[in-house]
């Protein structure tokens, strides 16, 4: 999620980060030693309630394909190559004439549909629960490693912001708390502790195929006030059909990625990006069983995912 734009605003970011740095956002309400954040709000009871939402058995893949053409923020790259066995020019193996391929993939983990971990963005060199950046780097992010996040099986909610506003949304359109609350009311949706919230903006359908450069550089999305209100409801993760969830251009150009900072560092709420929400919105789905078992790659701060919605 962080790339070329962050490089362009790095000096500003350091100034803003220093201004924001304060001790009142840590220790976490989940405890001074906590490393999981809002996933503490998951429960077996929540899983059972979410499973009861399955009525039709229709399954939606919320991830988009990951490859060289996947949307990326900044300068991230993806390459894949096949590795044959046996090597070229050598005969098949054994009497059964075994031949095979392995592969080598070189990529950022923050490409295409992805989940931001709690070590991804911090404030003035501190991350979730006040963990210092130098400690994270020295231990390969051990305390906040993506591999330690438990499976997320819970109630998913779609808030259709495109439907709420009744028109295509513009880049930089920042949703307020009042916008979110009004959309919830009109769409007869409630949000509860442990939920995963997905925003449908229509940006992916409008821009990804026709104007990929614009899709990757700007978007409508959450404003800080709306993100704060959603986090206050006890949600586990918030995602959208955009590359960075929050409105870009930023609400305040001197505070880049402040929504990410608030969610990840201050509240321990995961950010989900490039989520294919469109099919759910097209079917009028407002709540569903959300299932995510993220790849357990060690030493990562974000990871490619394919969440599943079942209605």
Residue 152 lies in a domain: yes
> Is residue 18 classed exposed, middle or buried when 0-12, 13-18 and 19+ CB atoms within 10 A define those classes?
exposed
Report the share of the chain in percent with pLDDT over 90.
91
Residue 96 lies in a domain: no
Nearest C-alpha neighbor of 26 from the set 264, 233, 271: 264
Give the single-character DSSP code of 263. I
Give the model confidence (pLDDT) of 170-228 as tens digits. 999 999 999 999 999 999 999 999 999 999 999 999 999 999 999 999 999 999 999 99
For 168, list phi and psi in degrees, rounded to 5.
-60, 140
Length of the chain equals 311
The answer to whether 222 and 175 are in contact (CB under 8 A) is yes
Nearest C-alpha neighbor of 239 from the set 282, 294, 199, 291: 199
In angstroms, the CA 73 to CA 5 distance is 8
Give the model confidence (pLDDT) of 253-281 as tens digits. 999 999 999 999 999 999 999 999 999 99
What is the count of structural domains for the chain? 1
In angstroms, the CA 158 to CA 185 distance is 13
Give the model confidence (pLDDT) of 82-122 as tens digits. 999 999 999 999 999 999 999 999 999 999 999 999 999 99
pLDDT at 126 (0 to 100):
98
In angstroms, the CA 250 to CA 231 distance is 19
| Alpha helices (H) in 203-276, listed in sequence order | 203, 212-217, 224-232, 258-260
pLDDT band of residue 2 (cuts 50, 70, 90) is: low
SS3 54: coil
| Strand residues in 229-307 grouped as ranges (E) | 237-240, 270-273, 287-292, 302-304
* Pairing verdict, β 221-222 and 174-175: parallel
Give the model confidence (pLDDT) of 19-51 as tens digits. 344 459 999 999 999 999 999 999 999 999 999
SS3 199: strand
pLDDT band of residue 17 (cuts 50, 70, 90) is: very low
By residue range, what is the domain housing residue 55?
A: 4-74+109-310
CA distances from 178 to 59, 107, 148, 150, 225 (A): 32, 39, 35, 32, 9
Residue 87 lies in a domain: no
Residue 92 lies in a domain: no
CATH of residue 239's domain is 3.50.30.50
Residue 275 lies in a domain: yes
Residue 85 lies in a domain: no
Residue 80 lies in a domain: no
pLDDT band of residue 74 (cuts 50, 70, 90) is: confident
Q: Sign of dihedral through CA atoms 259, 180, 305, 31?
A: positive
Q: Which residue has the tokens 């586990």?
A: 236
Residue 272 lies in a domain: yes
């Amino acid at each position: 999620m962080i790339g070329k734009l962050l490089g362009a605003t790095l000096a500003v970011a350091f100034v803003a980060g220093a201004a924001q740095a304060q001790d009142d956002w840590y220790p976490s309400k989940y405890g001074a030693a906590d490393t999981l954040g809002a996933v503490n709000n998951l429960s077996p009871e929540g899983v059972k309630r979410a499973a009861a939402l399955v009525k039709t058995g229709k399954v939606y893949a919320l991830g988009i394909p990951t490859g060289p053409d996947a949307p990326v923020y900044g300068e991230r790259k993806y390459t894949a190559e096949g590795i044959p066995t046996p090597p070229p020019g050598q005969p098949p193996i054994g009497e059964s004439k075994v031949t095979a391929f392995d592969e080598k993939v070189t990529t950022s983990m923050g490409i295409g549909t992805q989940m931001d971990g709690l070590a991804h963005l911090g404030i003035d060199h501190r991350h979730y629960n006040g963990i210092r950046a130098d400690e994270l780097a020295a231990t390969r992010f051990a305390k906040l490693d993506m591999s330690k996040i438990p499976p997320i099986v819970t109630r998913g909610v779609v808030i259709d912001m495109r439907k709420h506003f009744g028109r295509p949304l513009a880049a930089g359109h920042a949703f307020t708390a009042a916008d979110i609350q009004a959309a919830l009311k009109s769409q007869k949706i409630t949000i509860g502790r442990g939920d995963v919230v997905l925003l449908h903006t229509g940006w992916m359908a409008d821009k990804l195929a026709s104007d990929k450069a614009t899709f990757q550089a700007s978007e409508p999305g959450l404003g800080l006030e709306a993100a704060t209100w959603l986090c206050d409801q006890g949600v586990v993760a918030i995602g959208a059909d955009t590359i960075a969830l929050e409105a870009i251009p930023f609400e305040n150009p001197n505070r880049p990625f402040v929504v990410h900072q608030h969610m990840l560092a201050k509240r321990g709420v995961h950010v989900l990006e490039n989520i294919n929400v469109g099919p759910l919105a097209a079917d009028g789905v407002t709540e569903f069983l959300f299932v995510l078992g993220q790849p357990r790659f060690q030493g990562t701060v974000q990871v490619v995912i394919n969440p599943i919605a079942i209605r």
